[in-house]
Amino acid sequence: MAADKDKDKSGDIVWAVIAAALFGVPALLISSATSGWDRARGWLLEHDVLLPAAHDPLLPVPGANGAGLDAARLAIGLGAFAVLSLTLRLLAGLAHSGLARRRFPSRHER
């Protein structure tokens, strides 16, 4: 009978560890991300990247308590995104062409 009780206790411990891994780890990750977003939102508001909710932004940012972007900030953000994506596309094309030249000889070299 004592061996059965020990087995039950070890089974309970295993399930407790599984439950902690399944629910505890994601909860810790979400809470740390939330606190990081709170600090980031404060910095963005302090440095006038986001408009406070009192200024009635054109595009509210989810999770920013009504703070968001007006037309000028939205245009700047979209422009920065376009420049970044074009730069990354250019770099990827250069890397791809450089790798292609190294791997395969041209028709003139054959």
pLDDT over threshold 80, residue 38: yes
Indicate the pLDDT class of residue 109, thresholds 50, 70 and 90: low
Task: Please give the average per-residue pLDDT across 2-21, as a whole number.
Answer: 69
Indicate the pLDDT class of residue 70, thresholds 50, 70 and 90: very high
Please, what is the end-to-end C-alpha distance for the chain in angstroms?
81
Task: Answer for the pair 57, 70: CB distance below 8 angstroms, yes or no.
Answer: yes
* Domain locations along the chain: 1-68, 70-110
Task: Please give the average per-residue pLDDT across 89-102, as a whole number.
Answer: 81
Task: Answer for the pair 66, 53: CB distance below 8 angstroms, yes or no.
Answer: yes
pLDDT over threshold 80, residue 92: yes
pLDDT over threshold 60, residue 40: yes
68 forms beta bridges with: 51, 60
